[in-house]
Amino acid sequence: MPSLAGQVIVVTGASSGIGLATARLAARQGASIVLASRDEPLLRRLAREIEETGGQALAVRTDVAVEAQVEALVDRAVARFGRIDAFVNNAGIAAYSTLDALPLAEHRRIFETNYWGLVHGSLAAVRHFRSRPGGGRLINVGSVNSDFAIPLLSAYSASKHAVKGFTDALRRELLASDPAITVTLIKPSGIATGFPQHARNHLAEEPRVVPPLYAPEIVADAILDAVRHPRREIVVGAVGPALAVPLALFPRAMDRLLAAVVPPLSKSRNPRTRTDNLDAPTGEALVHYAHAPGLPFSPYTAMQKRPGLTVLLAATAVIGAIASRRRRSRYDPRR
């Protein structure tokens, strides 16, 4: 799929943040968009917005935690557009709390949406992709917290660990049985969306995402790049990779560091938000974080989207360094 023009893309969690940024960007590039979230009035307004600018969009109220609603989402998308080319599992919720203070019902609700919702979407998409020639693209949105958990977002981190395990297992099974169905895991670092305002908050202060923050459009671009060019995994931002090596080499020291640094960095002096979307949508189509714009570019993410060019540039730099060293050695007066 070198172009998105004419492609049919389903996006869950499409009423805000990364999902909304992805839907708008895909529509601008000519894709037909199926918008899914729990907020039907807001979805209908967003669909009209896309259609008024020349695009095609379908709004489908969907709670991804309910398997029957996800199956109905696929049926309505196929009834409207005839097929689905790519399915983006993006819906997610969170709660800021220590684990001992987090009500078990909220812990379960996070898993119902973040993990089971993604399972429902993945399996429904795979069933559809198997029914048509050419397969399809499955894009699952995890997090850098798929690899390392952080305090105060512990249930969220655990759900994203589960997302990574499920996605990796599904990819390996499909490589054996249905190689035309590709599976990509997107792992954003801290993203400047309304995540802190939408999360349930059990802290005394208003929470914030630990910086540095990246613009949600970078994640949207990574998702759509995976639709055009299948990739195993794309990490948005360099925070995860930067922590991976010290976590592997010095796990106990990193436990102490994260325990000491993350809680104070997760709290802000911003006005306290009184609503959240854990049990019901907020009705706000927020893409960006109100208190910080986010970095507009990630060199590390750009390199992952152009691996061939990255290897070529690295090889060129190494060859240039070797040649320069040889020239200096040749004219070294001490020789």
Catalytic residues, which ones?
A: 156
Residue 192 to residue 220: CA distance in whole angstroms? 13
Per-residue CA distances from 94 to 180, 226, 279 (Å): 33, 25, 11
Q: How many CB atoms lie within 10 A of CB 92?
A: 28
Residue 232 to residue 264: CA distance in whole angstroms? 34
List Cβ neighbours of 226 (8 Å cut-off, separation of 6 or more): 137, 139, 184, 186, 234
Q: Taking the mean position of all CA atoms in its chain, how far away is CA 243?
A: 19
The DSSP-derived string for 39-53 is -HHHHHHHHHHHHHT
For residue 125 the two structure tokens come to: 């998409």
CA atoms within 13 A on the CB side of 133: 0
Residue 188 to residue 217: CA distance in whole angstroms? 11
CA atoms within 13 A on the CB side of 333: 0
**Phi, psi (5° rounding) for residue 60?**
-130, 115
Residue 294 to residue 278: CA distance in whole angstroms? 24
**Phi, psi (5° rounding) for residue 46?**
-65, -35
Assign 48 to helix, strand or coil.
helix
Residue from 278, 31, 135, 30 nearest 11 by CA: 31
Residue from 57, 32, 54 nearest 43 by CA: 57
CA atoms within 13 A on the CB side of 70: 27
